[in-house]
Amino acid sequence: MAIKVLHIVTQLELGGAQKNALDILSHLDRLKYEIHLISSDGLLSAQARAIPGLRFRSIDFLKRAPGLFSDLRALLFLIFYMRKNKIDVVHTHSSKAGILGRWAAHFAGVPVIIHTVHGWGFHDYVRSFLNNFFIYLERITAGITTRLIAVSEADVQKGLAHGIGLAEQYVLIRCGIASAPIKEPGFYLTQKYSLGFTKDDLIVGMVACLKPQKNPLDLIAVSERVLEGYPQAKFLLVGDGILRKKVKIEIEKRRLEDSVFMLGWRKDIEDIMPFFDIVVLTSLWEGLPLVFLEAMHLAKPIVAYDICGIGEVVKDGVNGFLVRPGDVEGFSAKVSLLLRDEGLRRRMGQFGRHIVSQEAFSPSAMMRRIEALYEDELRRLIP
């Protein structure tokens, strides 16, 4: 009899948690598992609906922002769905879905409740009351959670330091990521031309949701400083979100319209990233961004703030540079250094490709560990 597994993620936007959930669901053995997904619609909804055998329910009242009535409605719906479908394993992703989904599973009597920590929802950039409230929610919810999967060792240590769960509840499972099929170089050059760039333009690219966590305004400040010494550089920001208007205003205020470009969300990111020369990220808090693993597969050097688990894949001075959070000057200097030195870009890119080619980052390794976790916990709880 098939094991019924339900994944829950808040919204199917373009993000690491969402991609990880869909990757797992795509690769679970259909002979052993019946797969379910509940989320609200986003840019990845079509990808979810294309997964063979997936029972996907989209509910628009599963929202990122807190709301008494929408959250209660989502909780009740999840409980009803789990009971009706006799779900064996609930696996949640992201903070909001993680709290609601795990409590729904508890009330529905689901035997195995698993949560993947893609970075914690509390951090140093939220008022103390909210931080304390989020920590409290995570603590009590860990008490009803069978296992906590972390994608970085830093998230394990941070969770334990804040009293969330027990050490034996945590398991480190890296996100597995396969290298995208590489097309002919001429294809990417055509893509580059289509966006208004020339063959010789050097592109500094960032792929991120435009929200406070990703801190995109720092990228605009960085671009202004870099362009002072390297005016031929181009900056490309792929993504959208609540800070879009502020970012656009800042670009216009600094008169950077000819050098900094906003693409919004794109479904063809795999056709755009290959012509980036440098990948950057100005996030203030993260788990372990999938965009870095994608960049490393493409042999791109990385510049980022030194936060959370980023240093576990971006080795400072080896496959990129890590800078103290908020150090715009230092960030700009590292980007400028890479722009000036093609050999350094190439060497760092190759080191990155070597790091991500390790078995720990392969989809097969991730799936072996995920399936073993599901089956071991079911076997332990249901002899």
Residue range 38-78, pLDDT digits in tens: 999 998 999 999 999 999 999 999 988 888 899 999 999 99
What is 3-176+362-381's CATH number?
A: 3.40.50.2000
Domains 3-176+362-381 and 185-359 share a fold: yes
Please report the pLDDT score of residue 288 as a whole number. 86
Say how far apart CA 207 and CA 137 lie, in whole Å.
30
Mean pLDDT to the nearest integer, 284-308: 92
CA dihedral 118, 270, 315, 148 (to 10 degrees): 20
Tell me which of 96-110, 184-198, 345-359 is least confident.
184-198
Mean pLDDT to the nearest integer, 328-352: 97
Asked whether the beta carbons of 66 and 134 are under 8 A apart, the reply is: no
Mean pLDDT to the nearest integer, 302-324: 95
Q: Give all strands (DSSP E) within 184-314, no chain letters.
A: 203-207, 234-238, 260-264, 278-281, 302-305
Kindly report the length of the chain.
383
The 10s digit of each residue's pLDDT in 113-168 is: 999 999 898 877 766 788 889 999 999 999 999 999 999 999 999 999 999 999 99
Closest listed residue to residue 29, CA positions, set 370, 294, 280, 311: 370
Q: Which CATH code, of 3.90.1140.10, 3.40.50.2000, 3.90.1170.40, 3.10.580.10, is assigned to 185-359? A: 3.40.50.2000
Domain residue extents for the chain: 3-176+362-381, 185-359
